Every structure is written in structure tokens, then in C-alpha cells.
Structure 1
Amino acid sequence: MAIGLSQEEAPPVAAEPDPPMRRRRHPLATGIAVALVLVVAGLVGWIALRGYLARQELYAALPAAHGIQSAIVSGDLGSARSSADELQKRAASAASLTGDPIWRAAEIVPWVGPNLAAVRTAAAATEQVSSRVIQPLVRVAATADPRTLALKDGRVDLAPLVAAQPVVARAQAAFHAAAKTLDTVDTSATIHPVGSAVDRLRELFAEATPAVDAVGNSARLLPAMLGADGARNYLLVAQNPAELRATGGLIGSVALIRADHGAISLVAQQAGTSIGPWTEPVAAIPDGPTGLFGQLIGTFIQDVNLTPDFPLAASTASRMWTSTNGGTVDGVITMDPVVLAALLRATGPVAVPSGETLTSDNAVSLLLSEVYRRYPDPAQQDAFFAAAAAAVFQRVAQGGTDGSALVSALAAAASSRRILIWSAHPAEQSILATTSLAGELPVSTGTTAGVGVYFNDSTGAKMDYYLDTSVAAGGAICRADGRPTTRVAVTLTNRAPADAATTLPDYVTGGGRFGIPPGSIQTRVAVYGPSGGLLAAITSGGETKSAISGTDRGRPVSVFTVTLAPGEQRTVDVDFLGMEQTGTGVSVTTTPTLPGTGATPDVGAESAVGSIAVDCASVVK
């Protein structure tokens, strides 16, 4: 007999646990992981190496880029071509290093990608400029050297300019396309070294833009304007800054110049006093400038440029000429004795029929001051001015003048707004309108207030030879709504001798004919504010200044009068509220004036504009 529980009834006995099993990696998986790490490391190293090499290539290209401009200016076209080849080689290498599929694929990686894209875009833009802009322009420079474009026997050879037109047009378009591509880079998503490099490249593009556009616009405009497609007639108006007008000076004399297939000739000359006046405006004048400057801008040729809107003034002067003399006028060009002085640096001294010798050193003082002592009769003065201008024109036209010096003199005069050009042909005027040569009203942007300060003589004499002008401007945000305030400070000084009333001719002082004491200077100042803005305040010495206010093409305008005895100085502050701007930047355009000391001003030296800090406590809010 069995004793105890049966097998079925016995409780289960706990089994001993199995020892833990070790997971073993498959050799293939391990190999793949290692390979991936190596591949990633290799790719990172590959990209880093190529980025480093691209950086080196771009840095190595800088000396070549700087060398091109200096070589062209000096006329060493061989060196210019060599530098251009070096620049293209370096830029192409940098673009190749950053443009392969691996680099492009890596641009999708967060954080790293935007930096790689920025470097690639910068390299590509540099390569495009070197191959499609600089190389073609250097080739054109070899066949269109400024020295070969100089007048010879009264004619300019237009063939090089005509041949250069399509090349230069393509180069100009390529430059702006490259600049536009560079602007697409979001530097806020890049590290500082990359972002700062892109910003610097943008600055270089901005610095080069005026030169590229000058070449491009010249190639597009000059052949037709010089009569390649048929004769052209231009009015050359001489402005006298001793009696200021907004665009530079009273129109003292007018010459008709003809350009026919490159041949340039002086057809006729007239004193401004022989044209008009009219009892009614010769052309429709907008209400804005009429309200600010009166009917004179449409009835007297001497006053058409009381308005700073040069296209309006030029078209009105053109109508006055044709109303008096018939014919057609294709454009208007301004100049003044300061421009003549610049041309005389290129031509050398020129003898005037009256016996004087005109030089770059004495042109301004002789034509704007001494002439009034020698010739009290205005008719004699006009004859002297006409003879001087004709003598310089004939010297330039006969040839023999260094073309580079001549072009440099004209470019310097244009940069200081002493040469302005208007074309009666809309297609040409649309190109000119993009340049400072057009003399357009100031232009504002979303961050910058474009303002203008213009001077018109109200003495009725030639005292502005002794007027010193100074302009300063600044901006600040002083309002809760964020709208910026722009302040313009205009300072005028009468530097005439203390005894001017007795030592200067009545023709210079005005002799009190218009109620201004002899020796004093009376000036009407027009200050133009930003587009869409509001005139906020006009003060002088802390007191409100009386003024005429109005608008001109959407710009607020303040016109006030300042009268100064010899030695006196006065400052007037004008405040504008920007309604379309969000920033405090200010860009100022002014009438080109004389230094107020009788010294010959430097052509090309733009009117200096100072900076001022705007005290919000003094701002009208």
C-alpha cells in the first residue's frame, strides 16, 4: 500500500530559471553602422574641405577684382584682361567647389543647410559677375577706350559705342540678376562669419552698381543722342550760381548744339534776356510748383528753374526756345562756370576774344565776380559769357584733349549735379530718370526719407557769390505710433565784405532796387520732405518761422525767406513726419552752390550734408 500523495496530487515544483541569454549583434548590422558613421564623417569632411577651398579661392580673387578697376582707369588694358582672367578662374573654382550634388543635398540639413546655401549663392554670384559682367566689359574697354571717344575735328567716332551696345546691355542685365540672387539669401539663418561675408559682398555689389549702370546707360543712350540715327538739337543752358536758382543758377545764356552722326557743332547762341517773357505760361505748369514758386516759372526763361524739378524746368525752357526761334529741341543740358573750370583742367588755358586767358584757376572768379567790375553793361557781360563758353567749346571740339581727362571732368561735374540732362524722347528720359543726371525730385524709400534743400535768389542781383550754405539732417522715432521725424537744419551765411554796399558794383548788390539793402543777401529756401509725409514745424532760434507751405508731387514743401547783412548767419530747422517710412534714414539733395569765399570750388565735390541728433523733447508730437 502506497503511503502519501499521488504524482497527480503533488504540488508543482518551481523550475530553476534559465540563465539570461546574451543578444548577439549580427556582423552585417555592425558593419553597416560603422560604414554609415564613416560615410557621414567623410561627407562632413568633404563638405568642410570644399568649403575651406572655396573660401580660399574667393579670398584669392579679391586682389584681381581690385586690380581690374585700377588697370582700366590707368589705361593698362593688358593688366585689366590678366586680372579679369584670374578673377574668373578663382570665381569659377569657388562655384564648382560649392555646386556639386553632395553639397546641394546637404543644404536640406537643419542649421547647416542655410549656411551651405549662402556660401553656394555667394560663390555663384561672384562667378556670374566675373564671367558675364567683368570679362565682357573688359573686352569692350579694349575697343571703346575713352581716349578713342574724344572729339577729333568736331566729331566722335560712334562705331565703338554702337558695337559695344549689345555686350554692355547683357553685362548690365547679368550684374543686376546676380545682385538680385544674392538678395535672396536670408542671413538671419546663418552663422556670423557666413552672414557677414554675404553682407560684405552685397556692399561690394552696391558700390559697383553706379559704375555698371553708368557704363550700361551710356552705351544705350550716347549713340542715338549723338545723332547715330539722325541729327539731334540740344539746348546748352548756362546757369549762373552767383544768382541762385533751385537747379543751380539763373539761366544767363542759351546755346543750340547740333549732333549729327557724331559731328558736334555750335549752331546759335542767345542771351537769356532775348527769350521772352510771356504774359501767360508757355506750357501747362502743375498746381503744386505754381503755388510754391508763382507764374514766373512758365513766363520767364530766367525763372523756369525756380522749381527743383529739372525735367519740368527743361521742358518749359525748350518750349520757350521753339516759341521764339522755331525748330525742334531734342533735349536740354545744364552747365555753369564750375563745369568750365573742370573742362579747362583737361584742355589747358583758353584765350577769350576780349584778351583774357581763361584757366581752371580763374574761371569761376572771373566769370562770376570780376566780370561785373570790368563790364558794368549787362549786354557786355552776356557777350563775355558767350565768348568764354564758345572758346572752351571750340577747344574741346577741335580735339587733342586727353579723352580720359575730359570724361573724368564731365563725370565729376555730373556727380556734383552741375550737369543735368533732359531728353524730349520718352525712352531716353526713362533711362535718365534712374540717374542723378535727371535732376528729379528726391525719392524716399520705406526706411529712408528723401528730402531736398533748394536755394533761389531773392535779392535780384549777383550776391550769391558770397553766400555760404550748410545743410544737416537726422531722424528719430519720437511718437508712440512709430512714425519717424526727420529734421533738416539749413544754415546760411553772408560772407560779403563789410563794406560791400560801397565797394561792390550796383549790378552785384542790386543797388536796393528790390528793397534789399545793398550788401545784404535775400534767399528763398525750399525744403522738400519725404513722399507722403507731413510738414510738422519750422523754427529758427527757438521761434516759429513764417513760411509758405504746399505740396509738390506728393511731397510736403516749406518755402521760407532769409535776409542776411554782411557777416550775418542764420539757421532754420524744418521738421517732417514720415507717414510712409518705418526707419530713420535720411537722404538729402541740395542745390550746388559756391563756397561763399570766392574760392574756386572743386568739381565733383558734392554739397556736404552733416548729421544731427534729433532731440525728441523738441519734436512736435
Structure 2
Amino acid sequence: MSKPHEELQTNESELSIMKHNANHATVQPKQHKKWPWVLLGIFVLLVALGTALGVTGYKFYKQALQVKDHEMAAVETVKQVKDIKNTMDPATLQKIIKPMQQHTSAARTIAHGGLWKLAAMVPVYGDDIRAVQGMTEVVDDLASKTLPEVSDTLTTVMSSDLSAGNGQINMQPVLDLKNAVNTANTQVQQQYKKMKNLPTPHIGLVKNAYDQALDQFADIADKLNQGNEMLSILPKFLGQDGQRTYLVLAATTSESRSSGGLGGSLGSMTTNNGSFQMGDFYPNTEFEGENSEVYTDSDKAVFPFSFDIRDQEADPDFNNVAKNVATIWQQSSHSTNVDGVMAIDPVFIQELVKLNGNVQIPNGPLLTGDNTAQFLLNDIYKDVYTAYQDEYFQYVASNVMDATFKDLSINKLVSIAKLISPMAEGRHVSFVSFHEDENKAFSDMGLTNGIPSDEEKPEFGMYFNQLNASKMDWYLHRNTQITRTSCNQDGSQTYHVTVTLENALSYEDYVNGPTYILGGGDLRGHIVDKMLLYAPAGGSISNLTVGGSAQIDDPQQGDLNGNGMIYTVANIAYGQNATFDFDVTTSPKAKEDLKLDQTPMGWTNTGVDYGKAACEIKE
């Protein structure tokens, strides 16, 4: 599919052998439904309030139970939607709004009755009453004002056809959706501000319930604000103010580079007042030579690459990658103005095939939402002559991207939006806009994929770069176990991390596979990856040990473009594995669990297991 680096080899004599074995199950971290807990947080311990208020507490206690029952019923209604904050289905919203309103309204009425008003005047504990009253107001406003307005607008917008034919997008429904979400966002931000300004409860359990509800509502407000920010720049992205040109770098993760994979082909797409046109893709061989090499001294010090279009994703910061790719394009015969750069891999293409429909390659296989990634990352090198591989890949990438914007509807736009977030988180797609205000929105969505930089949302980076001229990273299976081991006095947390790398090359492929996949000479069937480890922003990595049956260089401290990291080389032969154990400590400012940012594999499963925590994060 793409021209590999034929000149790259690794000196095995420089690698040391260390032995250790480990197996780890792969479990996806739990995904929590956020905003139903806002309802639950209102009344978790209203019984405690009744007790605290003394003799009149019995009647208050009964009313508190009624509030609890109504809000619990509202929660059960919401559970009909798997993830209410992401749903764009007006029929589903209509189904839950009316019964939800009945319960939240009843709870609000009770909480503002005479006894509650009297109790709210009680010194100290009156703050607890007013907090509960305020929370019932916020939730009822959400049910009676915000959701109905969103539902009504969506009913109109969702029935609109975004496609005006000939690659033209009807902009009016996009603008209507943008305005609807902006209105909803304004209301939710006001509701969040109101909840945040409620009196601070004094009863411990009520305060805990309030704090939990506030945290969950903050998440809702943040996510909706991100969506609003994205929709606010969508018309510009679609060329409302004039033509835009975006580059699309198609990369193969079978030959890893930190941000994704070896660049196989580069194409362009343009938008102009809602019109969309997919340009041609060109093979990486058209972007070779000194004029196509863009790098820093730091790049060359860390990697033995030529840094033409094939190697630009060696930098784990896609912001740098995008600038360099644009420079290479503008120095080529295809030069145009560039407004942004997107990188995609076969896993992302497979998800688009699943969304748009199967792709029949002329004189080739039928690609589906299940087999596309395997074909483009492995089978193509076995079944298709090298001379035709670029043509196949360019055909698939061009047709899939073109189909994505054809016959566009709001439903399809929503499906694309839902797809983008997990694909960007796994680095299967990245995007940088060269318009600063717009790029902030893409960054907030996680699309710009930089190195770890947020102290409050800690992550550590683990990036891989194939040094063997091969497509052996298809056979690299990575498993990572992350377990919180201590919550430190300064507010930081420490986690133990175990990484297992396995060469999963089958015996049949080892015996019969082509050199293009396996590499040649003494490195046939070897995975030789240069591995970079980045600590969380404001944090550290310590106590690093290596093991397994593979050959592993002694880890070294290094620097890439001004950012410190640890690097090593793992040479994993057929049937071998490598293990890495280390501790990661976050910044004292961390407010969330540690996550892993890593080079993508040829599938959606991240191979990350978040183990049972030894302590709870205290904010």
C-alpha cells in the first residue's frame, strides 16, 4: 500500500536480553451515565434532614420521601435513554419529557411548600433546605424548558435534507441546529451557575450529595459547551465564508509512527459555501527527495528516518505533524493553500464503511464494516501485487471520504459526530485547523492529539515507531494494566503500570509471508519498535523495569522538540514478548483518573485494563 523504508535496520548486538512473563486481561473502563446522578444527588439523604429538624421532622420526613420517590421515578424515565446527553432523537426525547416533567414538577412543588419554606429559615440547616430546593428547581427547569425546546427544534431539523445534490450541503438546517444547541447550551450554563451558587449544605451527607450532583452537572455543561463550540465553527469549516482546502493523510499503522503510522498517500478535499469535493490521493513516492523532507535537529537525533511524508507522524504531537505535512504539500507540484490537515487510518476508514455502506474494489474484494482494516493493513500485502497496492488504497480512501459527505442528513451528521470522538481518542483520526479559533474547538473535542499537557486531566503517553522495514506492527499486540496504588498528601496520585508487548505472528504467516510484511535478513519476522514514554503534565515516571523474552535496550532519558521523555528499543522476534513495569505519578492538580494516550493499533480495542484502585481521588 505504501513504500516502506528500505534503508532502516537495527543493530541487534546493541540490545540486551532480559526475561520475564506476564499476561493481562483486557477490560474497557466503565462508562458512567452522567446526568441521571444529578437527579439522585438532590435527595440521597433527605431523611437525614428530617431527623436534624426535630419534632416537625416527621411530616417533613414524609414529604422528603415523596420528593425522593418523584425524583427516583424521573430517573427511571431517563434510563430509557442509554445516554441522554448524546441523543439527538426527538421521538425518544418526547417519550421521556412528559412523565419526567410530572415527577420533577411534583418534587419542586413539595420542596417549596409551607413546611419547607419554614424549615429554610432555620439557622444553619436552612442552607441544606435551600440547597435541595434549588436543585429541584434546576432539574425541573431542565425537564420543563430546555429539553422541550431542544426536542421541538430537532423534530424540524432532523427531517431536513442536508444534501442539495452534486456534493452541495444545504446550510440552513446546519445553521438551525447550531442555533438550537446554542440556546440549549445557554440555558444549561445558567442552570449550572445557579446550582453552583446554591447555599453550601452543612449536613455532611447532604453536602456530599450536593457535591456529587454539582460535579455531574458540570460534566453535562462542559460536554454541551464543547458540542456548541463545535457547531459554532461548522459553517466556517464547510466554507460559509469562502473556499477551504484540507489535506488528508492516509497512514498505515502496520508500520507504526508515534501519531499513527507511515504515511501512505496524501490527498485534499475542498469546501465552499456548503459544497464538498474530494480531490485525488497521491502515493508517498510523489513526496520524496530533499525538498520533501521536513524535520528538526531533535527529530534526527531521536529517529533514523528521512522525514519525508512517510515519517511525519513520528512526532507524537499532531500539531507539529500537520504543519510539516502542509509544508511538504506546498513544496510539491500539487501546491495549494491549506486550511487544515487530517490524518486517517484503516480503522477509521472501516468505521466509515460501516456507516456509509460496503465498498466494492474493481477486480478486488468487497470491503465491509468488519474486514476493511484487516485488508488494508495486512491482506493487501499478501493478495495484491505491490504495483497495485497504492491504487487500491487510494481508491478506498477517496471513495469512502466522498461517500461520507454525499446524501448528508442531520442523522448522518450526528452519526459522524458520535464516531469522531472515540476514533480521535484512539488516534485513528486527527485534525488540526490552521484557523486558531476553530482549532480550539477541535482541540476541545480531542482531535488535535498532542502530547500530555493537562495537569487536571492526567494522561501519560506511550508511542511506537517501527525501525524494521516491514508491516510487522499488525502483529504487535499491546496490553496495558493501570492501577491506582496511592493517593498522596500533596493531592497527586500514583499508579502502577504494566505493559506487555507480544509478537503474535502466526507460524503460517512466518513461513509463507512476503518480505514486504515480515522484513528481510536477520530481522525477518521481528517487531523492532522504538518506544517513547511521556510522563503526565506536572507528573513523573519512575521505577521502570523491563523483562520478557525479547531484546530490549536500556531505557534512556531523552528530549524531542523540547519535551522530555524516556525511550528504548524493543526487538521482539517471532514468538517473543516484552514487558515494562513502572510507576506514574500525576500532578497535585489532577482531578481525574490517569489515562493512556498511545499509538493506535489495527483495531478499536485499546488493550487497556484499569485495575481496582487502592484509594479514592480527593478534590
2:217 matches 1:205: yes
Q: 1:467 aligns with which of 471, 476, 501?
A: 476
Matched residues, percent identical?
23
- What whole-Å deviation, never above 9, does each CA across 1:486-545 have from its counterpart, x for those lacking one? 433221100112465542111112213xxx610010111111112123443321139996
Amino acid at match of 2:608: A
1:159, distance to aligned residue in structure 2 (A): 0.9
2:329 matches 1:321: yes
Q: 1:454 aligns with which of 455, 459, 463?
A: 463
Q: Closer, same or farther in 2 for the Cα pair 1:83/1:578, shift >3 Å?
A: closer
2:449 matched to which residue of 1?
Answer: 439
Q: Per the alignment, in what secondary structure is the counterpart of residue 500 of structure 2?
A: strand
Q: 1:222 aligns with which of 220, 225, 234?
A: 234
1:396, distance to aligned residue in structure 2 (A): 3.9
2:394 matched to which residue of 1?
Answer: 386
Q: 1:163 aligns with which of 171, 176, 188?
A: 176
1:33 matched to which residue of 2?
Answer: none
Q: Closer, same or farther in 2 for the Cα pair 1:452/1:52, shift >3 Å?
A: same
Amino acid at match of 1:80: L
Question: Is 1:153–1:399's contact at 8 Å kept on the other side of the alignment?
Answer: no
Q: Per the alignment, in what secondary structure is the counterpart of residue 429 of structure 2?
A: coil
Amino acid at match of 2:389: Q
1:43, distance to aligned residue in structure 2 (A): 7.4
Partners of 2:140 and 2:461 in 1: CA distance: 39
- What whole-Å deviation, never above 9, does each CA across 1:264-320 have from its counterpart, x for those lacking one? 11122211231244479647x5x8x648745959x4222221122112211221222
- What whole-Å deviation, never above 9, does each CA across 1:131-188 have from its counterpart, x for those lacking one? 4542332233223328844685423322111123233123224324434554566887
1:522 matched to which residue of 2?
Answer: 528
- The correspondence of residues 461-500 of structure 1 with structure 2, limited to 5 A, is 461-477=470-486, 484-498=493-507, 500=509
Give 1 or 2 for the bigger CA radius of gyration.
1
Amino acid at match of 2:449: G
Q: Closer, same or farther in 2 for the Cα pair 1:208/1:153, shift >3 Å?
A: farther
Amino acid at match of 2:423: A
TM-score (norm 2): 0.78
Task: Judge which range, 72-81 or 137-146, deviates more.
Answer: 72-81
Partners of 1:247 and 1:317 in 2: CA distance: 13
Partners of 1:74 and 1:222 in 2: CA distance: 19
- The correspondence of residues 576-595 of structure 1 with structure 2, limited to 5 A, is 576-578=584-586, 580=588, 585-594=593-602
2:359 matches 1:350: yes
Amino acid at match of 1:439: N
1:566 matched to which residue of 2?
Answer: 574
Q: 1:256 aligns with which of 247, 256, 268?
A: 268
Question: Is 1:311–1:438's contact at 8 Å kept on the other side of the alignment?
Answer: yes
1:30 matched to which residue of 2?
Answer: none
Question: Is 1:535–1:556's contact at 8 Å kept on the other side of the alignment?
Answer: no
1:62, distance to aligned residue in structure 2 (A): 2.0
Q: Per the alignment, in what secondary structure is the counterpart of residue 539 of structure 1?
A: strand
- What whole-Å deviation, never above 9, does each CA across 1:85-118 have from its counterpart, x for those lacking one? 4434543443454457974664453452242133
Partners of 1:535 and 1:54 in 2: CA distance: 49
Amino acid at match of 1:137: V
Partners of 1:572 and 1:180 in 2: CA distance: 45
Task: Judge which range, 555-564 or 389-398, deviates more.
Answer: 389-398
Partners of 1:105 and 1:309 in 2: CA distance: 59
Amino acid at match of 2:353: L
Task: Judge which range, 474-483 or 209-218, deviates more.
Answer: 474-483
Q: Per the alignment, in what secondary structure is the counterpart of residue 121 of structure 1?
A: helix
1:565, distance to aligned residue in structure 2 (A): 0.8
Question: Is 1:449–1:529's contact at 8 Å kept on the other side of the alignment?
Answer: no
Partners of 1:115 and 1:250 in 2: CA distance: 59
1:327, distance to aligned residue in structure 2 (A): 1.7
1:336, distance to aligned residue in structure 2 (A): 1.5
Q: Closer, same or farther in 2 for the Cα pair 1:177/1:470, shift >3 Å?
A: farther
Q: 1:129 aligns with which of 139, 142, 165?
A: 142
Q: Per the alignment, in what secondary structure is the counterpart of residue 198 of structure 1?
A: helix
Partners of 1:180 and 1:591 in 2: CA distance: 38
Q: Closer, same or farther in 2 for the Cα pair 1:503/1:79, shift >3 Å?
A: closer
Q: Closer, same or farther in 2 for the Cα pair 1:394/1:128, shift >3 Å?
A: same
Q: Closer, same or farther in 2 for the Cα pair 1:477/1:187, shift >3 Å?
A: farther
Partners of 1:465 and 1:477 in 2: CA distance: 36
Question: Is 2:458–2:590's contact at 8 Å kept on the other side of the alignment?
Answer: no
Question: Is 2:89–2:154's contact at 8 Å kept on the other side of the alignment?
Answer: no
Runs of 5+ in structure 2 lacking a partner? 1-52, 615-619
Question: Is 1:335–1:419's contact at 8 Å kept on the other side of the alignment?
Answer: yes
Q: Per the alignment, in what secondary structure is the counterpart of residue 320 of structure 2?
A: helix
Task: Judge which range, 93-102 or 319-328, deviates more.
Answer: 93-102
Partners of 1:46 and 1:535 in 2: CA distance: 57
2:429 matched to which residue of 1?
Answer: 419
2:608 matched to which residue of 1?
Answer: 608
Amino acid at match of 1:465: W
2:258 matches 1:246: yes
Runs of 5+ in structure 1 lacking a partner? 1-39, 595-600, 615-621
2:280 matches 1:268: yes
Partners of 1:315 and 1:376 in 2: CA distance: 33
Partners of 1:413 and 1:349 in 2: CA distance: 19
Partners of 1:187 and 1:444 in 2: CA distance: 29
Partners of 2:596 and 2:85 in 1: CA distance: 32
1:462, distance to aligned residue in structure 2 (A): 0.5
Partners of 1:560 and 1:406 in 2: CA distance: 38
Q: Per the alignment, in what secondary structure is the counterpart of residue 575 of structure 1?
A: strand
Q: Closer, same or farther in 2 for the Cα pair 1:347/1:547, shift >3 Å?
A: same
Partners of 1:318 and 1:216 in 2: CA distance: 28
Partners of 1:178 and 1:154 in 2: CA distance: 40
Question: Is 1:245–1:457's contact at 8 Å kept on the other side of the alignment?
Answer: yes
Amino acid at match of 1:492: L
Question: Is 1:243–1:463's contact at 8 Å kept on the other side of the alignment?
Answer: yes
Partners of 1:106 and 1:480 in 2: CA distance: 39
1:303 matched to which residue of 2?
Answer: 311
2:37 matched to which residue of 1?
Answer: none
Question: Is 2:455–2:538's contact at 8 Å kept on the other side of the alignment?
Answer: no
1:246, distance to aligned residue in structure 2 (A): 1.6
Partners of 2:341 and 2:516 in 1: CA distance: 28
Question: Is 2:253–2:260's contact at 8 Å kept on the other side of the alignment?
Answer: yes
2:151 matched to which residue of 1?
Answer: 138
1:36 matched to which residue of 2?
Answer: none
Partners of 1:480 and 1:143 in 2: CA distance: 54
2:14 matched to which residue of 1?
Answer: none
Aligned length: 558
Question: Is 2:120–2:129's contact at 8 Å kept on the other side of the alignment?
Answer: yes
Q: Per the alignment, in what secondary structure is the counterpart of residue 249 of structure 1?
A: strand
Question: Is 1:225–1:232's contact at 8 Å kept on the other side of the alignment?
Answer: yes
Question: Is 1:71–1:79's contact at 8 Å kept on the other side of the alignment?
Answer: no
Partners of 1:43 and 1:480 in 2: CA distance: 43
Partners of 1:502 and 1:105 in 2: CA distance: 83
1:483, distance to aligned residue in structure 2 (A): 6.2
- The correspondence of residues 494-573 of structure 1 with structure 2, limited to 5 A, is 494-498=503-507, 500=509, 502-512=511-521, 517-541=523-547, 546-550=554-558, 556-573=564-581
Partners of 2:71 and 2:487 in 1: CA distance: 44
Q: Closer, same or farther in 2 for the Cα pair 1:202/1:150, shift >3 Å?
A: farther
Q: Closer, same or farther in 2 for the Cα pair 1:386/1:330, shift >3 Å?
A: same
Partners of 1:544 and 1:395 in 2: CA distance: 45
